[in-house]
Amino acid sequence: MFAAMAPAVNNPLAGFCRDCLARQPGISARRCEACGSPRLARHAELYRLSLAHIDCDAFYAAVEKRDRPELRDKPVIIGGGKRGVVSTACYIARINGVRSAMPMFKALAACPEAVVIKPDMEKYARVGRQVREMMQALTPLVEPISIDEAFLDLAGTEKLHGMPPALVLARFARNLEKEVGISASVGLSYCKFLAKIASDMQKPRGFAVIGEEEAVSFLADKPVTLIWGVGKAFDEVLERDGIRTVGQLQKMERGDLMKRYGTMGERLYHLSRGMDERRVHADHEAKSVSAETTFDTDLASPEDLVPVLRALSEKVSSRLKKAGIAGRTVVLKLKTSDFKIRTRNRQLADPTRLADRIFSTGLELLRKETDGTRYRLIGIGVGDLSDAARADPPDLVDLQSRKRALAEGAIDNLRDKFGRSAVETGYTFGKGRNARPQRDGDS
């Protein structure tokens, strides 16, 4: 009886207007009763969900269009930097078939009238920080994933804002357009996995909701590649086993999946059923993952130091992979025989979790330090951590690195199955006990 009397403004099926934020009185009107906008948000769980993923639309291109309004209705491509590929294309250029990471010559063949702009990373970083600060005004639980996207946990903020998270998010999207001059898409759900999928569903200027009730049926007909961590190589493994849809995984037993695919099987089991316990962590940026070792006798030659660096890089990589995170800054640490500490770091173009990339960057840094100095400790780590979603993108120019990444995925699978010692790489193989880290330290 009371439910029937409840004011319509609290009825999630009546929803609200994403343009003027007015709560709607009825559940069936196609346009906002207050401003006439067709952009209404409605969902049975609209006022119960609080975990969001926000991703700016065509970020670099949107910033450039903001600064050059005459480009608003033109196809714009940001790219042609060092790699000669498309960084991003505005949605008009995408309609013509232009995609991120496409070689420039192909993009221009698809869309000859496109305006090409060289990336201005400093400007994008500045706007990215501004967007992040606006997010942090909504909740302390903001987990940045990359320059233009983040997870937000808005649980418990309703009193503070005087409105439920769904409205706070819609207001954020509206303010972003007004105050920064770019747009974003919002995904609202109960877990990270589905919030991230939702933010991609109605791009640009999207606002999509995936509730707990519908999660399993929503996922059933989706391809397995929708699952976080199922890349090209693993998709091929699943295809060989006849598994194409998430629905097929939903019907499989947990034990069976684990027997077949190791730790990945566990993930397939949970995510296919919409089960994802990962919390939103605000402090990713501050932390680092590293491993170091102190030798019994001081070492100076690359022959002695390099295999240890390799083993430590693998250790760091395996921890990153387990945690589902990646790091963008590689840090080499050395302690000389007279206890002086040297740290050297290098920032990569993209976050990585690959042992090979961590090692080769560490190796470049180490080369400059192997000048006869004797060291008692070596360590390697990565900082500037983020979620693994954006890590190690396929690099069209550097095909070698893509092959190495695939090989590393295969090695990981074998190790999952048969243990670490089953597969050794050239640098650690046959070095025996002498080169093994003698005392390990982790952080």
Q: Please identify every residue annotated as catalytic.
A: 149
* Least distance from ligand TTP to the Cβ atom of residue 428, Å: 33
The two three-digit tokens of residue 437, written as one number: 């880290």
Over its C-alpha atoms, the chain yields an Rg (Å, rounded) of 25
Residue 50 touches which of ligand TTP, Mg ion, none (Cβ within 5-8 Å per kind): none
* Least distance from ligand TTP to the Cβ atom of residue 110, Å: 16
> Would you say 47 or 172 has its CB closer to ligand TTP?
172
Cα gap 185→207, rounded to integer Å: 6
> Would you say 47 or 60 has its CB closer to ligand TTP?
60
Q: Does residue 387 touch Mg ion according to CB under 5 A? A: no
Spell out, one character per residue from 252 to 271, where the chain touches Mg ion: x when CB under 5 A holds, - when not: --------------------
285 contact partners, CB below 8 Å, separation of at least 6: 144, 384, 385, 386
Q: Does residue 148 touch Mg ion according to CB under 5 A? A: yes
Half-sphere exposure of 86 (CA within 13 A, CB side): 29
The two three-digit tokens of residue 96, written as one number: 């013509």
- Residues making contact with ligand TTP (CB under 6 A): 55-60, 87-88, 100-101, 147-149, 203-204, 393
Residue 87 touches which of Mg ion, ligand TTP, none (Cβ within 5-8 Å per kind): ligand TTP
Facing residues of 56 across strands? 184
Cα gap 19→21, rounded to integer Å: 6
Asked if 81 and 118 touch (Cβ cutoff 8 Å), the reply is yes
Residue 101 touches which of Mg ion, ligand TTP, none (Cβ within 5-8 Å per kind): ligand TTP
Helices 121-136 and 165-175 cross at an angle (nearest 10°) of 150
The two three-digit tokens of residue 414, written as one number: 């074998």
> Would you say 203 or 267 has its CB closer to ligand TTP?
203
Can the peptide bond before residue 204 be classed as cis, meaning omega within 30 degrees of 0? yes
> Would you say 188 or 365 has its CB closer to ligand TTP?
188
Backbone CA torsion sign across 162, 163, 164, 170: negative
Residue 203 touches which of Mg ion, ligand TTP, none (Cβ within 5-8 Å per kind): ligand TTP
> Would you say 59 or 427 has its CB closer to Mg ion?
59
Strands 16-17 and 40-41: antiparallel
> Would you say 32 or 102 has its CB closer to ligand TTP?
102
The two three-digit tokens of residue 365, written as one number: 């840094």
* Least distance from ligand TTP to the Cβ atom of residue 203, Å: 5
Count of residues engaged in binding Mg ion, rule: CB under 5 A: 4
* Least distance from Mg ion to the Cβ atom of residue 197, Å: 14
Give binding residues for Mg(2+) as ranges.
55, 148
* Least distance from ligand TTP to the Cβ atom of residue 321, Å: 21
68 contact partners, CB below 8 Å, separation of at least 6: none
* Least distance from ligand TTP to the Cβ atom of residue 387, Å: 13
Residue 60 touches which of Mg ion, ligand TTP, none (Cβ within 5-8 Å per kind): ligand TTP
> Would you say 100 or 263 has its CB closer to ligand TTP?
100
> What's the CA angle centered on 274, arms 317 and 193, to 5 degrees?
45
* Least distance from Mg ion to the Cβ atom of residue 59, Å: 5
Residue 304 touches which of ligand TTP, Mg ion, none (Cβ within 5-8 Å per kind): none
Alpha-helix runs per DSSP H in 47-191: 59-67, 91-95, 104-110, 121-136, 158-161, 165-175
Give binding residues as ranges.
55, 148
Residue 88 touches which of ligand TTP, Mg ion, none (Cβ within 5-8 Å per kind): ligand TTP
Residue in 307, 309, 304 with CA at minimum distance from that of residue 290: 309
Q: Site residues for Mg ion, window 8-67 (CB under 5 A)?
A: 55-56, 59
The two three-digit tokens of residue 382, written as one number: 């990565």
Give the DSSP letter of residue 279. P
DSSP structure string for 74-110:
S-EEEE-STT-BEEEE-HHHHHTT--TT-BHHHHHHH
- Residues of this chain that interact with Mg ion (CB under 5 A) are 55-56, 59, 148
